[in-house]
Amino acid sequence: MAEGENDLHTGRKTTGHEWNGIKELTTPVPKIVLFFLAVTFLVSLLIWVLAPTWPTGSAYTKGILGIDQRTSLETSLKRSAARTAPWRNEIEQSNFETIAQNTELMKTVRSHGARLFGDNCAMCHGADATGGIGFPSLVDDQWLWGGDPSTIMETLRVGINSTNDDTRISQMIAYGRDGILTLEQRRSVGAYVRSLSQSHEISTADIEKLEAGATIFAQQCASCHGPDGRGMQSVGAPNLTDDHWIYGGGSADIDETLRNGRHGVMPQWEKRTSATDRKILTLYILDLAEGAQ
């Protein structure tokens, strides 16, 4: 077919291509498309000049405006530090009691504390801080290491069995694995431990073991858990007479505790949080605990 032939229906020229009698018209690209193509090209030229664009090996062209992600991040960090400075300073300089009595400041503690707790602590202690198997509740008013604000803040700083040089060290001895107590002795002292908090659930078979259990307890356990089993905060040994358990209070749980010991690990927060954030977290936990009572 001849090139440039006129199409009968539209009057337009054809390209000269033909497939089974179908011919292609030489329709030009619409003007609007060309227009926007030109505009985008000009805009890109402008951006090359104004903003960082081309890599030049180890650096890049900076552009007239000198936009830099690093400096914009620094500015926005500075801006947010300036915004939070007033209440941060107040929290840093006031003691725990003064802050707890300041309703305005406690609003900030609650909102900022909830975020810090959610980001750093909730995966172990639970979103509402009530803990779970292996992770103590922080709102049950039972403290392994002590519940006054400065002690809690110190626990946060150093952690428990952590990598911090000042870490708190918590070690429940593996009486079975280390061959210190026989199975029979562990069962007796286990029954005795359960009788301390759950005397109503002790079976008659267990009652016979209580005397032997009490003797073993006095010899082996009292040095850490106290003669009456109420725990000792200087070594992080839990109170065994209440009904709050880290690892469970059933006979199988206590058997496991006595056989293999326990060695709970709480990370240190000295390197990952500021002292102000640890103060906020302490106030936040105590506030939650108060609400939970």
Q: Which spans of this chain sit near ligand HEC (rule: CB under 6 A)?
A: 120-121, 123-125, 135-136, 138, 143-145, 152, 155-156, 160, 170-173, 175, 189, 193, 220-221, 223-225, 235-238, 240, 245-247, 254, 257-258, 262-267, 269, 281, 285
Of the pair 14, 176, the CB lying nearest ligand HEC is at 176
Residue recorded with tokens 């509402």: 128
**Six-digit token string for 50:** 């104004």
Of the pair 63, 247, the CB lying nearest ligand HEC is at 247
Alpha helices in the chain (DSSP H): 31-50, 69-93, 96-101, 103-120, 122-125, 149-158, 183-198, 204-207, 210-216, 222-225, 251-260, 275-292
- Residue 23 has φ and ψ, to the nearest 5°, of -110, 150
How many residues in total does the chain contain? 293
**Six-digit token string for 39:** 């505009």
Nearest distance in Å: CB 293, ligand HEC: 15
Q: How far apart are the first and last CA of the chain?
A: 94
Nearest distance in Å: CB 127, ligand HEC: 12
Nearest distance in Å: CB 98, ligand HEC: 21
Of the pair 91, 281, the CB lying nearest ligand HEC is at 281
Of the pair 114, 224, the CB lying nearest ligand HEC is at 224
Residues in contact with 3: Cβ distance below 8 Å, sequence separation at least 6, in sequence order: 14, 15, 16
Of the pair 94, 171, the CB lying nearest ligand HEC is at 171
Nearest distance in Å: CB 84, ligand HEC: 19
| Angle at 201 (CA atoms; ends 199, 206), nearest 5 degrees | 80
Residue type, 272: R
Nearest distance in Å: CB 71, ligand HEC: 31
Nearest distance in Å: CB 101, ligand HEC: 22
Of the pair 106, 173, the CB lying nearest ligand HEC is at 173
Nearest residue to ligand HEC, scored by beta-carbon proximity: 264
Longest dimension (CA), the chain: 115
Cβ proximity of 87 and 105 under 8 Å:
yes
